[in-house]
Structure 1
């Protein structure tokens, strides 16, 4: 018998709500997307209004029910896949005391410096605190974007607001609270807070680490598993979401945990690459490990007993969005003013991105020597630098915008190759790479990635919906429809394959050497231009 789950994929700039059928296969029945604002502040702050997420849930739930023709009573559970390392501080009624601080927020430089970047250091962290944190949590809060420093920033800079805090939640945990009235945090979110004791038999927030960082443990919620039913829809929430009161609500997981599940990359040694607003390389491992020098750590996964060895690129698809908005549109004449879109140029393309991909398809590998660095909002791995920025390098008189756009795709893929090579210093990555996210919708990007990596690249059906698929799978396990998360491997098969063109790879090998040198050669200038911004 078919069973139906609604999965909410809560991203940086919008929510995608998917109604998914789970039977012998995973089938997308209907989906809907609603965008919301990302507030980028001059002081490095990046915030969102949690009410925007909740409103977007309501709007999209109504749409998917209407599009599917299914009654609310047919929905047997809801689950979440969400952006991670946000900070949502709420009062005892679950009402935010301020706007949420995004994972991209990097204003807590002073808090980071005072909290861990002092004294005798290794990889930018106090050696004693680093060793203690690694021993207990398997990671260390050494990035300015880690949520504990956002928490400390609010405590220092907004004491009146901080005094109202009842609980510290992440993005999906706020939405779970709205649905059920429960204050919880899934294990992967607790780990991402970098306060979670991962040692076998403990698995809880560490009092010792919280004391070291000055975190009030009463602010931390109850920890649950991704597959746990954490509550049921209240009457008010059900009415707002157009669903049935009492519908089971599952913990779900962060995007880092569940996108791999939705990609079918669930067994140790499986590597997937994601390109959405952000991007990453993640390899499933069976033990915790960390490379502090490259800012790579094994993150607690939704699949019990496994971890995701994870390296992140802050802006991946966001770079392509920037190109579309600021570089491409005026040249290829899709429209001269954003309010006047020409249908003639849009057809037969499904989106402006499709048109842009077609416009650059004949640019040769290496973009005639033009190189782009995708650090539009700083970078986290394999180097941590909030001051790093994007650049076009080696532009000549004969360089056109098509080459520059093509170089952006290559620059994103070069950085992902850098991640893959950094991971291989510690683990064996898979020879065949699962590639997912919105970036995997474009065959051109898939082929460029294969050429740059020199590896076979696979994509899956609806690669931009894999987060929601992962959320549906953990709900299906929680409901007893699936035996274990590992079943995702059999349910999710490759739909397309790309083999590397080795002649193109030779060109990319040359450009990749230059790409890596660009950060080292410009690090001081990034600091000079961007420190304090």
Structure 2
């Protein structure tokens, strides 16, 4: 662990009016908040940045765009809180995961970041994983070693970092040879802020080069050696609550914050969101519906389901196991449908928040005659890991209008999450029947929230869904500053305050059962078709 979790005179947490500046870097932009000691957001800002899609299955971003958005967002906070710099006690990040940024020793990126959406290495990943004899697409000996040491293995779709790293090695050898470090998104931001090359266990675990066995946590020379990745190109693993270092003078000048401000290691977006959901007890699940979707929850020990492509990863705090069952398309499917069907008479097709809210507000109730939708627009991960799968409408007729298709898209995501839950629910220690916190941008759509409650037969609870990652990262920082005795104690404050609740309704549950039964018959054929 680098630094002391309560290091630094300024920012030590002694100031009762101190603030944590927490930034959540997503696929399309960064959400930033100034959080007080109760982890309430007293000021927020959102700044967007571009996503480049330079070719089939390719997705890239410029790291400096993240930093520019951070600078703009903090300036926005400072306009709302004139004494922000004086009151700031710490800066903490959470960010999208599974990115690869090759950098020089100075931290300068050698090329655009290959972000999580990128699947260019899908065929390479399948070749890397496969061989004879195999199980679930993995050669037996490879699967045994990976699952024993790392509690999982690289996905077949090429989205995990090792396949991306090997793609760089094979296709951009000049970049590979010049790279001093291979970083995830949050790692690059931490270096830009402090000059230190560090990561947290959640990002390290998803490289599948980390030993996650209790008492042995750290980089695995065996796994890295098998992939041909030099260990010295990987950053040091630190706990999420630790102070990496103080903010560099240049970074402080750019951000309008004091040099030396403690920068907390934080977490990837999955861990921060899990904490921010408030469901931090063992066996408690939360649901996320942002660009992608997931079901997730903490467990007391490592778990894995090879056949349905999910497992626990080591979280950034005390290596606590966090189960994550990820699906590729949720909000991205809603936005896609809005762009396709939302033009109306004006012909405009926008997917910003206001346009989405206005569009979906008038779609009307679900009908049994609506077409069925399978939301595999970017392939799928859980419970079937295959980047070749694609989205499908089935049962279309000339009588269907755009509202029927919009309803089907929302329902399709909800039923896809039901499909994932049907596998996750088999885990020993899962606390069944609890209210399900729903976070992410999709949670603000009341039609979707009710459909999810009906599909899962659970009460869905929505509480500040867009700030779950920001507040979760803030809880990590608050524990690091000793404002709370633990991250879990800090997270307990996040379940307070007003919430919207969606109770499953008898008619909706019956309809979901009927529609899910139809999808259960269609899916095997669709999977076979795309394979």
TM over 0.5: yes
**1:88 positional shift:** 1.1
Q: 2:337 is matched with which residue?
A: 323
Given the superposition, is the C-alpha separation of residues 514 and 429 from structure 1 closer, same or farther in structure 2, using an over 3 Å criterion? Answer: farther
| Equivalent-residue separation in structure 1 for 2:119 and 2:143 (angstroms) | 20
Match of 1:86 among 88, 96, 99: 99
Among residues 106, 109, 130, which one is paired with 2:143 in the alignment? 130
Q: Contact conserved, 1:5 with 1:475, CA < 8 A, in 2? A: yes
Answer whether contact 1:436 1:459 (CA < 8 A) is retained.
yes
Contact 1:283/1:429 (CA < 8 Å) preserved in 2? no
Mapped to 1, the partners of 2:367 and 2:297 lie a distance apart of 27
Shift of 1:429: 4.2
Query: 1:67, 1:517 → 2: CA distance?
Result: 54
Partner residue in 2 for 1:492 = 494
Q: For 1:104-119, what aligned pairs fall within 5 Å after superposition?
A: 104-119=117-132
TM-fit CA distance, 1:521: 1.2
Structure 1 residue runs of 5 or longer lacking an equivalent are 528-533
Q: Secondary structure at the match of 1:251?
A: strand
- Equivalent of residue 133 in structure 2, options 104, 120, 124: 120
Kept after mapping to 2: 8 A contact 1:269/1:285: yes
CA distance in 1, matches of 2:379, 2:295: 17
Aligned to 1:13: 28
| Superposed CA offset, 1:410-433 (max 9, x none) | 111111111111101223244221
Structure 2: gaps spanning 5 or more residues: 1-15
CA displacement 1:344-378 (0-9 Å, x = unmatched): xx9xxx81122122211x22354x23111111111
Is the CA contact 1:192–1:299 (under 8 Å) kept in the aligned structure 2?
A: yes
1:212-291 map, 5 Å: 212-291=226-305
Match of residue 470 from structure 1 = 472
Counterpart position of 2:90: 77
Alignment partners' CA distance in 2, 1:45 and 1:118: 26
**Any idea what SS the aligned residue of 1:492 has?**
helix
Task: Give the superposition deviation at 1:486.
Answer: 1.0
Q: Secondary structure at the match of 2:178?
A: coil
Of 482-491 and 269-278, deviating more is: 482-491
What is the distance in 1 between the residues matched to 2:155 and 2:256? 42
Counterpart CA distance in 1 for 2:241 and 2:184 is 17
Residues of 2 paired with 1:278 and 1:76: CA distance?
Answer: 32
Q: Map of 1:34-53 to 2, 5 A cutoff?
A: 34-53=47-66
TM-score of the superposed pair, with normalisation by structure 2: 0.93
Superimposed CA distance per residue, residues 215-270 of structure 1 (whole angstroms, 9 cap, x where no aligned partner): 11111111101101001111110111111111100111011111010110111011
Contact kept? 2:425, 2:432, Cα under 8 Å: no
Contact 1:365-1:504 within 8 A present in 2 as well: no
Give how far 1:68 is off. 2.7
Partner of 1:406: 407
Aligned to 1:530: none
Q: Deviations over 1:369-395 (max 9, x none)?
A: 311111111111110111111121111
The answer for the alignment partner of 1:380 in structure 2 is 381
TM-score, normalised to structure 1's length? 0.93
Answer yes or no: is the 8 Å Cα contact 1:436–1:466 preserved in 2: yes
Residues 1:512 and 2:512 aligned together:
no
